[in-house]
Chains A and B, each alone.
Chain A
């Protein structure tokens, strides 16, 4: 079956521009997580969705970062006024429900010039 799908796979943009990253979770998965992976580092939690509500946004690094989810489907992560330190791979994971195994997409590699 289809896994977690993320788009675009790569994004290069200029400092100060806004970017939107998309995640299509596995069908039927109610829990959706966003993580960030800086070069050579482990993954850092950003935000958690249960359905279309986000009970945990504690990992968002600044108010330039926001995310939304449509029902139990697509989620978008938006970064406004991008900075060079935003360069990273942004990964999305979904699970049947919270506490169950998380399955990751291949991420969006974001490069800020």
Chain B
């Protein structure tokens, strides 16, 4: 089955700096890669996703890049703000193929943005 590795496990930045979180996956059948933000006591919130027919996607201060050949994808947050502090999870799925779209998650990155 799919295996997703996420790094780093913790990331501390100053407000205004950029933050980058990286994930690798093992199953070449995976073609859908969402990123979730989870705040304390809340469920994961989808912040951006990418499918394998594109290499990069941006939404304001957030961008995701995908390298399907190398089987890795990254989350980039620019101009970080204290409210970006949370746990971020990457995930991978086959987008509804033989695995029914179930998500395999990385272990999470605790992002702390210092004012």
Interface on A for B, CB 8 Å cutoff?
A: 4, 6, 31, 33, 35, 40-45, 48, 50, 55-56, 59, 91, 95, 97-107
Contact = CB atoms under 8 A, between A and B. Distances in A.
For chain B, the bracket of interface size reads: 20 to 34
A99 B95 contact: yes
Contacts of A91: 43-44
B95 A106 contact: no
Given A42-B89, A42-B108, A99-B96, A107 B43 contact: yes
A33 B103 contact: yes
Contacts of A56: 99-100, 102
Nearest to A54: B100
Given A42-B105, A42-B108, A106-B43, A98 B89 contact: no
A36 to B, nearest CB: 11
Contacts of A45: 102-104
A98 B96 contact: yes
Nearest to A46: B102
Contact of B107 (A41, A95, A97, A99): A41
